[in-house]
Structure 1
């Protein structure tokens, strides 16, 4: 590669928006010290961010009195290695959600059985009613 092509490549890399954003945070002495090869690898590292792809990427701002606040909701598959604490929290949340789902399912099943019993006219405890059947009928 001749020196003219090398200078053109360096100029093209320096005009890249992602690299300009990165370079703006560096002192000028450091900015000028990068070779074309280093700049091209920096650009490759910035462009090839695998953590930037999310199933749900919802961002917005809210104005409250005199201030503006931003929020970001990101959802997607976790590809990171979890620490021991994160793994334990994940297991706890998974167990809690499973327990909530099972309790909800059992309660809905019991409600369905109660409504079926009431619809069939079966009275297990004479003179006692939860009032669910009367509410459901009306």
Structure 2
């Protein structure tokens, strides 16, 4: 965990409750790309081992976090269950944005589904009921 220490997140969860914490990725355009140099808003950045830094200063240059990694981090570093971590990545954001037809599997809801295995590897993604991605 890079931007927020796990102890701070544990305090936030205890103070607010699991239903008031949501996961975001706000990741930059270099997310998912190999380690290397990229441009971000006119700045040269270096991505190494999933961490992006401004080349000239070494300062953090945004996030390369993906949601599967956020969920995995929450389970590993915060001791959350898979159910709670997934809820914080799906239902909680939908509720915060007042999107009652998102973030849940229920009749008349938008069928956006990510299929994962026990290691939280993404196996398939379904967007609005259509297969969008399938792992090889």
TM-score by length of 1: 0.20
Higher-Rg structure is 1
Structure of higher RCO (CA pairs closer than 8 Å, 6+ residues apart): 2
Structure having the higher helix fraction is 1
Structure having the higher strand fraction is 2
TM-score by length of 2: 0.20
